């Protein structure tokens, strides 16, 4: 999985260099980025199919590819943080998870621009290259920095309002909120203790599967905000044990925020 991520990363790094040059063109680098995404996915698909014939896949671009081996499947996002990539911002990742017998078993998140490989395997811990990772030990919300993701263009109005409500519940009580645009890296940063926690709703399994293994193996807690299954709903919360329960309580209590002047306000 690490080898596959590195190969895809080499391709993305070349394409990113090109994207930086395309920023000034009127049409922008949109199609080019979509091709970069597909190229990276092809590389991962070929590398993993060769290394582990028969394993299944869930991939952002290809969708579900059934394998002859029903107990193992890879969950792959070839380019997480696409909007960053598109805008020439060096914060994007390759994310590859392996699900074994219905459980998340290992994960690799590769930050291509910073050349950081985060990896974890169930029972073997989470690692940044050779350094063992541990979630941050902070217990107080007031000292903690959290990452989140904002809904984007095209999301239902109620998703935006739900997010605004959650933001309103969090900003007055924590040290800071960050929004970097790659859920896979947000989770890797929680595992590395760079963020004290992360939450976001309505993500896809490939955004979060690898990062979830990283956080758990770094001693953190990962769950679904309302108690469901993260890979199904994509509503994810991750933090250390203490902060998890405080965040969960606040997010569950948060009320959808209706802007003043809106019909329902
Ligand atoms: P992506 O870069 O692979 O699209 C950030 O909030 C998270 O949401 C990222 O992991 C990002 O994954 C995902 N996301 C999905 N669709 C998006 C979109 N249209 N704009 C921004 N982020 C999106
Ligand atoms: Ca993604």
For the stretch 127-142, pLDDT in tens is 998 999 999 999 999 9
77 lines ligand 1 (CB under 6 A): yes
C-alpha triplet 238, 241, 242: angle, nearest 5° = 110
Same domain, 226 and 243: yes
Give the ligand 1 atom nearest the CA of 186. 10
Strands of the 103-111 sheet, one edge to the other:
63-65, 55-59, 69-80, 93-100, 103-111, 116-121, 125-128, 131-132
Domain stops at, among 132, 157, 189: 132
CA–CA distance, 146 with 163 (Å, rounded to integer): 14
Between 181 and 30, name the one with better pLDDT: 181
Domain for residue 221, yes or no? yes
Give the ligand 1 atom nearest the CA of 81. 2
C-alpha of residue 203 to centroid of ligand 2, in Å = 8
Structural domain boundaries enclosing 83? 2-132
- Ligand 1 pocket test target in 8, 59, 83 with most atoms within 8 Å of CB: 83
Nearest ligand to residue 236 Cα: 1
Same domain, 93 and 27: yes
Same domain, 111 and 148: no
Quote the number of domains for the chain: 2
Domain stops at, among 94, 109, 132: 132
Same domain, 233 and 195: yes
Query: Do 224 and 139 touch, CB atoms closer than 8 A?
Result: no
- The per-residue pLDDT for 26 is 67
Query: Do 183 and 209 touch, CB atoms closer than 8 A?
Result: no
Domain for residue 265, yes or no? no
- b/e burial code for range 89-99 (CB count within 10 A of at least 16 → b): bebbbbbbbbb
- The per-residue pLDDT for 265 is 55
78 lines ligand 1 (CB under 6 A): no
CATH number at residue 16: 3.30.540.10
Mean of all residue pLDDT scores within the chain: 95
C-alpha of residue 187 to centroid of ligand 2, in Å = 12
37 lines ligand 1 (CB under 6 A): no
Q: Other C-beta atoms within 10 Å of 205: how many? A: 21
pLDDT band of 20, cuts 50, 70, 90? confident
Query: Do 10 and 53 touch, CB atoms closer than 8 A?
Result: no
CATH number at residue 212: 3.40.190.80
Pick from 246, 107, 168: nearest CA to 237: 246
Helix, strand, coil percent content, the chain, rounded in steps of 5: 40, 25, 35
Q: Is the pLDDT of residue 243 over 60?
A: yes
Interval 171-192 mean pLDDT: 98
């Amino acid at each position: 999985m690490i080898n596959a991520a590195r190969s895809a990363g080499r391709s993305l790094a070349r394409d990113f260099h090109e994207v930086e040059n395309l920023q000034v063109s009127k049409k922008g680098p949109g199609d080019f980025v979509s091709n970069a995404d597909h190229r990276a996915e092809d590389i991962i698909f070929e590398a993993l199919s060769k290394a582990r014939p028969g394993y299944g896949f869930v991939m952002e671009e290809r969708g579900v590819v059934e394998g002859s081996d029903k107990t193992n499947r890879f969950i792959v996002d070839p380019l997480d943080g696409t909007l960053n990539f598109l805008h020439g911002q060096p914060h994007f990742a390759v994310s590859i998870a392996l699900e074994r017998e219905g459980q998340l078993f290992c994960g690799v998140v590769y930050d291509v621009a910073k050349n950081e490989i985060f990896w974890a395997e169930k029972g073997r811990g989470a690692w940044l290259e050779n350094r063992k990772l541990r979630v941050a030990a902070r217990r107080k919300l007031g000292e903690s920095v959290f990452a989140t993701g904002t809904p984007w263009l095209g999301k239902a109005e109620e998703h935006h309002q739900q997010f605004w409500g959650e933001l309103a519940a969090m900003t007055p009580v924590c040290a800071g909120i960050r929004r970097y645009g790659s859920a896979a890296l947000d989770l890797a940063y929680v595992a590395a203790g760079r963020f004290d926690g992360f939450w976001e709703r309505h993500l896809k399994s490939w955004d979060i599967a690898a990062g979830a293994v990283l956080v758990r193996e770094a001693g953190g807690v990962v769950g679904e905000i309302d108690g469901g299954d993260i890979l199904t709903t994509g509503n994810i919360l991750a933090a250390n044990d203490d902060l998890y329960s405080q965040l969960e309580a606040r997010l569950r209590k948060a009320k959808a925020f209706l802007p003043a002047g809106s019909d329902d306000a």
